[in-house]
Amino acid sequence: MSKDTTLPIEKAVPYAKRWAALSLLCMAQFIVIMDTSIIGVALPAIKTDLGYSQTGLQWIFNAYVIVFGGFLLLGGRLSDLFGSRKVFMWGFAILTGASLLAGMASSEAMLNTGRALQGLGSALIAPAALTLVLTKFTDPKELNKALGFWGAAAAAGGSAGVFFGGAITQWLSWQWVFLINIPLGLIVLVLSPGLLLKGATRKGKVDMIGAILATTALILMVYAIVSAESAGWDSLQTLGLPGLAVVLFMVFLMMQKNKKEPLLPLSIFKAPNLSAGNLVMGLMAGAWIPLWFFLNLYLQQVLNYSAFNSGLALLPMTFTIMVLMVGVTGKLVARFGFKANMIAGFIALTAALVLFSNVPVDGSFMIHVLPASLLGAIGMSLAYIPGTIASMSGAKPEETGLASGLVNTSYQIGSALGLAIIVAIVAAKNDMVQADGTNGLLALNEGFRTAFKSAAVVSGLATLIAVFSIKTFK
């Protein structure tokens, strides 16, 4: 009897360094997401120094996001097999080395390679880090609070990247938007062995072919979208590459179905909420990333803000996200459940995008930017954590790494495809507006309004899926 009563007590004892470990993991999450957005305002300087074409500039963003999203499943699988801490540290070693390569780049190819390797490192870091968060908190209230910090780090990383990118580019040089990762990465690598538990390991094989197939399919799909305007919407390239991407993805799925140890066990989709939750997370990214991307362009190109002042203008939104996710969202989830909060968040995000879709050429920050940006921040704060919870709520304990990889994959793929599609819509809209004789600032602003309107449709679709497809559990 003594053994039976002692064992549960031992299991209930929380990890003593869990909050210090969470701080380190939130720092890692911040870095990973920041690397997606920090390069935005540095693009003109990079174009001048390295000779990028206007079209080629997109790949500084896409090389990172596509490899990040494409290899996240592999990162989740490696985390399950070799232990979360080991894979987490592998990822940071790759990210740190790749940041040095990107920061020292002297050519377009060298920078694109560095960005792709940064994406690979982040693909190992993200699922391992989330697994480490989930396994260190046994009390549900503490876990909700921990996920609040985690969500705040992710959302703040995306928004703060724009601000830091502007400040660094203006006061140092564009190289430092990459080199800043090196000291941060070294700090993480030094502290990880003392703060992070090794994590469980299992025997198994790694499906590299599956990872390459899935990533190649994503690259072809995004390339087809971003190059459609120049190649022609009815060209063989624009029509053929998505078809080839679908074929490769179908081959990937068939391989996963027949493999003894697949990269993506299709049985995981039987878990309640997993499919709907991941779709919602992808749509969330497809609305949120275009919001900050085009808002930054509107501030600089229409309202004539400098890169640094544009970053300052986004600080209220970033601060709101951090405060709400850390201090409010977890409590709301505990009281009302993840579904109600998710729906409320998407309604607020959609409303914010509708407001942005009416911004005028002579817009005022206090009237046309601040209220809508704060409303969008509230929406993101309410939806992000519940979306993550919903996506992972039905997964088995041994599939936690895979499920976390899927959540991050959905978010990154959603951001890549969502931004690519909306950029293509904006380009088509600009051609139509200019054909009607509208040029200059009015045409540019009309394109931005179209972008926000398109993102509002994406967010509205996510709202409907959350209402009708996400289930709650008692």
Q: CA 370, 372, 374: angle at the middle one, nearest 5? A: 65
Q: Is residue 338 assigned to a domain?
A: yes
R_g over Cα of the chain: 22
One domain for residues 123 and 47? yes
Among residues 262, 281, 307, the one where a domain terminates is 262
One domain for residues 236 and 288? no
How does pLDDT run across 124-171, given as a tens digit for each residue? 887 788 777 777 777 777 777 787 777 777 767 766 677 777 778 778
- CA-closest candidate to residue 156, choices 384, 414, 423, 387: 384
Residue 287 CA: distances (Å) to CA of 123, 140, 151, 280: 22, 30, 17, 11
Q: Is residue 143 assigned to a domain?
A: yes
> Considering the entire predicted model, what is its pTM?
0.78
Considering all CA atoms of the chain, what is the largest pairwise distance in Å, rounded to the nearest integer?
A: 86
One domain for residues 189 and 104? yes
- Residue 6's pLDDT band, with cuts at 50, 70 and 90, is very low
Residues near 441 by Cβ (< 8 Å), separated by ≥ 6?
Answer: 302, 361
The answer to whether 425 and 454 are in contact (CB under 8 A) is: yes
- Residue 395's pLDDT band, with cuts at 50, 70 and 90, is low
- Residue 210's pLDDT band, with cuts at 50, 70 and 90, is confident
Q: CA 445, 450, 452: angle at the middle one, nearest 5? A: 95
The answer to whether 273 and 387 are in contact (CB under 8 A) is: no
One domain for residues 190 and 119? yes
One domain for residues 44 and 186? yes
67: domain CATH number?
A: 1.20.1250.20
The answer to whether 76 and 127 are in contact (CB under 8 A) is: yes
One domain for residues 155 and 230? no
- Per-residue pLDDT, 408: 74
Q: In the chain, what is the straight-line distance between the N-terminal and C-terminal CA atoms, in Å? A: 32
Q: CA 237, 120, 112: angle at the middle one, nearest 5? A: 55
Q: Is residue 3 assigned to a domain?
A: no
Q: Is residue 101 assigned to a domain?
A: yes
- Residue 3's pLDDT band, with cuts at 50, 70 and 90, is very low
CA dihedral (177, 182, 183, 187) positive or negative: positive
Buried-state track 60-83, b at ≥16 Cβ within 10 A, e below 16: bbbbbbbbbbbbbbbbbbbbbbbb
* DSSP string for 110-151: HHHHHHHHHHHHHHHHHHHHHHHHHHH--SHHHHHHHHHHHH
Per the structure, the complete domain to which residue 91 belongs is given by 13-206
One domain for residues 49 and 156? yes
The answer to whether 317 and 420 are in contact (CB under 8 A) is: no
One domain for residues 193 and 118? yes
Q: Is residue 2 assigned to a domain?
A: no
One domain for residues 283 and 181? no
Q: Which helix (H) or strand (E) holds 65?
A: helix 58-70
What is the spatial distance between Cα 67 and Cα 94, in angstroms, rounded to a whole number? 13
One domain for residues 319 and 406? yes
- Per-residue pLDDT, 394: 65
Among residues 206, 228, 251, the one where a domain terminates is 206
Q: Is residue 321 assigned to a domain?
A: yes
Q: Is residue 447 assigned to a domain?
A: yes
The first and second tokens of residue 203, run together, are 């025997």
One domain for residues 385 and 236? no
How does pLDDT run across 324-341, given as a tens digit for each residue? 877 787 788 878 888 888
One domain for residues 377 and 452? yes
Q: Is residue 198 assigned to a domain?
A: yes
pLDDT beyond 60 at 456: yes
What is the spatial distance between Cα 66 and Cα 403, in angstroms, rounded to a whole number? 19
Number of domains in the chain: 3
Among residues 262, 281, 304, the one where a domain terminates is 262
What is the spatial distance between Cα 388 and Cα 411, in angstroms, rounded to a whole number? 10
The residue length of the chain stands at: 474
